[in-house]
Structure 1
Amino acid sequence: MIKHIDGINYDTRSRISERYKRITKVVNQTFWGSDSNTRHTLYVGSYGRGTAVSTSDLDILISLPAEQFDRFDGYSGNGQSKLIQCLKEATQTTYPRTSIHGDGQVVVICFSDGMRFELLPAFEQICTQGYNTFLYPDSNLGGTWKTTNPKAEQYAMKDKNRTSNGLLFDTCKLIRTIRDERFTSYHLPGIIIDSFVYSAIAGWHWGSPGIPSDSGKYEEHLLDTFNKKFTFNPTPVILTAPGSEQSVSAEVNTITVLQKVLTYMTK
């Protein structure tokens, strides 16, 4: 069932780019005093890791000046929530008739054509080794700061996709496609898909005599790997994100959806 997956079409990419630049410009005007529509933002999530399909959300990391961290961290009560609200208000000036709301860690923009952007405000932390990490706000439970390392994840995914001759990205995209077409009532985040496939793919790759497109052996390998890892494990299941090696927690209902998709792929 694994096959080469076509990318997002040109018209969709054009709309994504146009909206991305408008969002970036208003963020830079508000927080950096700049009119740039390219600086201080980064595609993250499925789109940044190269595993997005046409139905995927667009995740954008918004890099903010260090002094803004001091400003919001200094609030007496849940400065993280106030930061989310401030970013929401800035974005609303560009899209005043679009549905925009804060949701825990992100600002969510829901366009009328079904496209959904999630904006994550963050503060870059200089690291002496590897890629710089980012602090981002979590407004739940009174507010905390958490850490993410998207550039490490993106590099690791792209490197393994190269060594697998494109099989890694194709597998992740196919799982998303099956999820969206056959299991629409279930929730299966992209980071769960990518983390699992990254860890399970082992030495499989396009072009190997061991995985002709109609054999099903690779699909059976993925399902067998899943069953060995997770069938008897307590919940929530902990996966490790590619590259960053940060823990990714998955509740039992999320893991069950992944199992359903992998089982479907072996038929």
Structure 2
Amino acid sequence: MNNQFKIFNESIRLTTNQENDAKIKYDGVAKTLHNYYYTNAYNGSSKFLFGSYKKKTNIRPFTALQDVDLIFKMPSSEFTKYDNYTSNGQSALLTKIKDILKDTYTTTDTIKGWGKVVLVKFAENTHNIEVLPAWENENGTFTIPNTENGGSWEEFNPRNDLNIFSTSNNLTAGTTSKLTRMIKSWKRNTSSLKIKSFELENYIIDFLSENNDEDLNDSELIRSFFEYLIDNVDENNKSFVQSALNRSNKAIDFESKGRYYKSCEEWRKIFGKKFPKWKDSIRFKSLDEDYSFSEEYIEDLFTQKLDPNYKLKIGCTVTQKGFQQKTPLLELLKKYILIPQKRLEFYIQNNTVPKPYSVYWKVRNFGIEAKNDLRGEITLDDGSETKIENTRYKGEHYVECYIIKDGICVARERVDIPISKEE
């Protein structure tokens, strides 16, 4: 099962594109606030990241609750203004932060404040940003607002939490992060479980402080954690942990008898569809040479209900040596085959889905030349309803387009791209 768990762990980690997208968003939000409150150029020092994103324990596929926790360090001169309010200066602070951001993020669906934070909600299947305005104290803690019960100030120490997690992760050579991501997948696949993510993190840290056995494989590690957890959770959650423990025992038993398909089925009951099914080929090679750790599937991101009444057709024009103008792809493929290093422009030629809707794209490469760039991530269209690519690698490749309406994939289209081995 080692290869199965390797595939599983890679498939739930954020892709490079998702991490880059998150950075663009949290830097954009922080820079907007920085430019309002400070005169010096933004260099990132007025922000502080914490929470799951900072710990690298966020998982995919994304949910509507996925966010980056961001502290914005307020100028010290601003504290007195809000502290002097006769009633709930904390609420006035969140309102001010919200208004500043609304001036920049005019097309963002939702910017709202509640409790202690301002939420900046972005497109589906991308990170949202939760902004916590705060004043940094000399001892490294932060003074933060709480708008509830008439408003108050609280001391917050995210550095302590990050240090505890980081220490555990270093001592276990990354096992803390890996186990946290896997257990979060179990939590997501167990909708009735009432244990918060930060509570699970604390359980994992305590467990590994006592059970950091480097000889355990992932199957044994998961079972051992469930054995620990069942002795520590309250009665309301015990049955869910017991079910997971029973299934992990069955999975390991099936594995010991060489019944790998059945073993995978039990792990899938625990973790969901992200845990891969067993394939006979895995017995003979460590990983399929065309397997992409970053590949995503639209069925994992959205409910898919393709509507036969909606028509979607993708066009593509090609610019390559020997063709002075853009040439339609299908016309070109009737006589020729594409060669490397040429420009492809995919576009929506026909789409009968009524607005509003969102467009997503997927590019998948195959072959030895593309082994370090197999891709497969699903990305949100930039608003142009086009996708620009270059024929860098020889072999068979494809591009898919998806139309998402009201959170449902209602139309999809695929274009296959053969690239010649001849220059």
Give the TM-score category using the shorter length: 0.7 to 0.9
Q: Quick one: which of 124, 143, 157 aligns to 1:113?
A: 124
Indicate yes or no: 2:226 matched with 1:223. yes
Q: CA deviation at 1:227?
A: 3.2
1:156 aligned residue: 164
Once structures 1 and 2 are overlaid, which stretch shifts more, 97-106 or 33-42? 33-42
Indicate yes or no: 2:146 matched with 1:143. no
Q: CA deviation at 1:140?
A: 0.8
Structure 1 residues not aligned, in runs of 5+: 233-251
Whole-angstrom CA distance in 2 between matches of 1:175 and 1:223: 10
Indicate yes or no: 2:141 matched with 1:133. yes
Indicate yes or no: 2:35 matched with 1:29. yes
Q: CA deviation at 1:196?
A: 2.0
On the 8 A contact 1:47/1:59 being kept in 2, the answer is yes
Q: CA deviation at 1:74?
A: 1.0
Indicate yes or no: 2:244 matched with 1:264. yes
Matches for 1:1-267 after TM superposition, within 5 Å: 3=5, 5-6=9-10, 7-54=13-60, 55=62, 56-98=66-108, 99-114=110-125, 115-127=127-139, 132-180=140-188, 182-184=189-191, 188-205=195-212, 208-209=214-215, 211-214=216-219, 216=220, 218-231=221-234, 256=237, 260=240, 263-264=243-244, 267=247
Structure 1 residues 230, 183: closer, same or farther in 2, change over 3 A? closer
Indicate the structure (1 or 2) with the bigger Cα radius of gyration.
2
1:236 aligned residue: none
Q: CA deviation at 1:145?
A: 1.3
How high is the TM-score relative to the length of structure 1? 0.78
Which has the larger helix fraction? 1
Structure 1 residues 82, 265: closer, same or farther in 2, change over 3 A? farther
Whole-angstrom CA distance in 1 between matches of 2:29 and 2:153: 23
Question: Secondary structure of the equivalent of 2:209?
Answer: coil
Structure 1 residues 205, 225: closer, same or farther in 2, change over 3 A? closer
Which has the larger strand fraction? 2
Structure 1 residues 126, 18: closer, same or farther in 2, change over 3 A? same
Whole-angstrom CA distance in 2 between matches of 1:155 and 1:148: 14
Q: Match of 1:31, as an amino acid?
A: Y
Whole-angstrom CA distance in 2 between matches of 1:153 and 1:262: 29
Q: CA deviation at 1:228?
A: 2.9
Structure 2 residues not aligned, in runs of 5+: 248-423
Question: Secondary structure of the equivalent of 2:95?
Answer: helix
How high is the TM-score relative to the length of structure 2? 0.51
Residues 15-52 of structure 1: per-residue CA shift (max 9 Å, x gap): 11111221111111122234405121011111122322
On the 8 A contact 2:26/2:68 being kept in 1, the answer is no
Number of aligned residue pairs: give it: 235
Question: Secondary structure of the equivalent of 2:232?
Answer: helix
Q: CA deviation at 1:86?
A: 0.8
* Structure with the larger RCO, 1 or 2 (CA within 8 Å, 6+ apart): 1
Structural RMSD (CA):
2.5
Residues 115-164 of structure 1: per-residue CA shift (max 9 Å, x gap): 3211111111112xxxx111111101111112221122212211211111
